[in-house]
DNA sequence: GGCTGTTTGTGTAAGTTTGTACAAAAAATC
DNA sequence: GATTTTTTGTACAAACTTACACAAACAGCC
């Protein structure tokens, strides 16, 4: 195990490996090879081997990798061998869709609370959740020690909500708002904007 | 203009530049510098200059970049100086949210049709759209010459739907299903899976 | 008009990432 | 049990990406 400093680009591929491996596990497959995994996800076998070997010698020559074992290791490395509570901020269509999404379960996450700054929405039920006011957000996030949030507000509110999240101790933000946000260096942000993703492909059409 | 072969990693940053520039333009700002833009989006000024200079000399020493001009150039480079028709496949919560999203307008895209393979959903109206059966999908996509699609089905249906999209001539797929899909080399895929994005951040918490 | 400050575009160096190839280990086959 | 096949982990080379630094161009000001 060479825990020195793993490049972020490798960390970014591990969830993709994990997703494919869990899919194989669900089908009852017990072992796989870097070759087979690579064909599933479109990454070269050598790269997969090199990425995984950063964390230890998890495979066996001639056989490949034990799927249950490798899944366990990857979950531990990514720290999703536990459940992280997540808050959703912004209860528009996207916030609703995510609040009702059942794909977080078993992959390390649990939506615990949802917020909106519109007084007309506060108190309304969305599935199992009652929408809370963003006025009480910092308090509730601190109380529950929530470290991760999903931002699904319009662009106009995103920076202000991000600031409040940071103040409340949130260290990871998944930003669905179509705008870049500024946060301190110790806060991580991932961006999901369907338009930028589409624009990245039109260049090649 | 050195159109030889622009690295994909640069193409991927251009939509982020464009998004920030259009935001400045909407505020009425007429010029900006690589420095200012870099601070907005968290990318070094040198990198922004080098990226942009791949396509021509769009800036002016001492002044910076004309925002309207640079926006025009980036839109042309990314081919979003026109409107691309897009189909959405899978009318669950996420499909609904995207069908109702008004953020595509003015950024180069227009949702033209939506599909679902559930007979109980076919014919129902979602906003302005009538849900069509996936049985008629290939036919309708070809008829309208649609080249881009958003895939919002469960993982179990994603590969089959992707195959149908490819057969119908679609060349770019934005995949919200939590699974890697296999497509021919000339078809582009971008992935949006909130869980893999979250898992990429938990490593650092 | 000359001086000062700003900002671009780019050459070069440094750093990072990927690809290639192969020894070593394990399993399968005969 | 010897040979062949499969597959890992990694050394080394190649390719790619980013950072640094600065000349040249332009604007603003006195």
Using CB atoms, pick whichever of A16, A180, A194 lies closest to residue B174.
A194
Q: What SS3 string covers B137-192? A: HHHHHHHCCCCEEEECCCHHHHHHHHHHHHHCCCCEEEECCCCCCCCCCCCEEEEC
What's the pLDDT band for A4 if we cut at 50, 70, 90?
low
Could you report the per-residue pLDDT of A147-178, keeping only the tens digit for each?
999 999 999 999 999 999 999 999 999 999 99
Q: Are B41 and A180 in contact (CB under 8 A)?
A: yes
How many angstroms separate the CA of A75 from the C1' of D10? 25
Q: How confident is the model over A112-137, as a mean pLDDT?
A: 97
Nearest residue of A to residue B24, measured between CA atoms: A179
As to burial, measured by CB atoms within 10 angstroms (0-12 exposed, 13-18 middle, 19+ buried), residue A63 is exposed
* Whether residue A190 has pLDDT greater than 90: yes
DSSP reduced 3-state for B193: coil
Average pLDDT, chain B: 96
Q: Containing H/E element for B98?
A: helix B93-100
How many angstroms separate the CA of A201 from the C1' of C11? 31
**Alpha carbons A39 and A49: distance in angstroms, whole number:** 13
Q: Which of residues 8-27 of A touch strand D (CB under 7 A)?
A: none
Q: Count of alpha carbons within 13 Å of A8, Cβ hemisphere only?
A: 8
Q: Are B152 and B177 in contact (CB under 8 A)?
A: yes
What's the pLDDT band for A5 if we cut at 50, 70, 90?
confident
Q: How confident is the model over B143-154, as a mean pLDDT?
A: 98
pTM for the model: 0.95
Identify the pLDDT of residue B1.
44
Identify the pLDDT of residue B75.
98
The tokens for A116 are 């909106």
Q: How confident is the model over B134-159, as a mean pLDDT?
A: 98
Triad B77, A196, B147: Cα angle to 5°: 70
**Alpha carbons A27 and B104: distance in angstroms, whole number:** 38
Could you report the per-residue pLDDT of A66-96, keeping only the tens digit for each?
999 999 999 999 999 999 999 999 999 999 9
Identify the pLDDT of residue A1.
43
A18-B185-B79-B32 Cα dihedral, nearest 10 degrees: 40
**Alpha carbons B34 and B146: distance in angstroms, whole number:** 36
Using CB atoms, pick whichever of B16, B41, B93 lies closest to residue A97.
B93
What's the pLDDT band for B5 if we cut at 50, 70, 90?
confident
């Amino acid at each position: 195990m060479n825990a020195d400093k793993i490049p972020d680009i490798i960390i970014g591929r591990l969830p993709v490996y994990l997703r494919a491996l869990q899919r194989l596990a669900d089908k009852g497959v017990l072992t796989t090879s870097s070759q087979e995994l690579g064909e599933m996800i479109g990454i070269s076998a050598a790269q997969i081997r090199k990425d995984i070997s950063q964390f230890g010698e998890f495979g066996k020559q001639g056989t490949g990798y034990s799927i249950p074992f490798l899944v366990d290791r990857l979950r531990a490395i990514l720290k999703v061998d536990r459940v992280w509570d997540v808050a959703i901020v912004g209860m528009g269509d996207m916030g609703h869709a995510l609040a009702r999404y059942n794909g977080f379960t078993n992959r390390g996450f649990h939506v615990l609370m949802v917020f909106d700054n519109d007084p007309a929405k506060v108190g309304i039920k969305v599935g199992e959740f009652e929408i809370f006011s963003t006025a009480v957000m910092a308090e509730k996030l601190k109380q529950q020690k929530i470290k991760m949030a999903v931002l699904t507000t319009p662009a106009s509110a995103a920076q202000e909500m991000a600031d409040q999240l940071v103040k409340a101790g949130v260290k990871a933000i998944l930003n669905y708002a179509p705008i870049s946000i500024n946060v301190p260096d110790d806060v991580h942000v991932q961006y999901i904007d369907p338009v930028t993703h589409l624009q990245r492909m039109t260049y090649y059409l």
